[in-house]
Amino acid sequence: MDTTAQHGSVKERPPAPAPRLTLSGISKSFPGVRALHNVSLSLYPGQVTALIGENGAGKSTLVKIMTGIYQPDEGTISIDGQAVTMPSAHAAFGHGVTAIHQETVLFDDLSVAENIFLGHAPRTRLRTIDWRTMRKNAREVLDT
């Protein structure tokens, strides 16, 4: 039991949160290149994680696997402890996984909400963009 002494009493520390997204033993090869070999990564709620490495280290490949753009040759992806498959970016988004890329030059004319929901904006019954819902959902994402 992890405890902390505080003013002469013992206070239990809350348990550490479980990872929301876990990649285990991920490998990916392209013709003539092994981009990833046995990579594991866990992402926790409320924590910022940085992928840092040289050019060609596999950072973009790993993000593309997390977001369903590439499929791993080996390994598992789990969300909240349950193994999942991400056969497409749409499927990854359905699991709450997406990437907002650092290069924003192409999207300077779009609002923050439009950038967040690019390609998957909420729609009305008439299939037009539901601007009110999009702005509300963007506020919730940013608050989180």
Domain boundary among 98, 120, 136: 98
Q: Which amino acid is at 62?
A: L
At 14 the pLDDT is 73
140 shares a domain with 90: no
Q: Is residue 3 part of a domain?
A: no
Q: Is residue 2 part of a domain?
A: no
Which DSSP state fits 67? T
pLDDT, one tens digit for every residue, the chain (144 residues): 455 555 556 777 777 789 999 999 999 999 999 999 999 999 998 888 888 999 989 999 999 999 999 999 999 999 999 999 999 988 998 898 988 766 655 577 888 888 888 888 899 999 999 999 999 999 998 888
Which DSSP state fits 107? G
116 shares a domain with 70: no
Q: How far apart are CA 138 and CA 33, in angstroms?
A: 39
At 100 the pLDDT is 72
At 17 the pLDDT is 85
The total domain count for the chain is: 2
93 shares a domain with 56: yes
Residue 143 is part of which domain span?
100-144
Among 61, 73, 71, which residue's Cα sits nearest to residue 27? 73
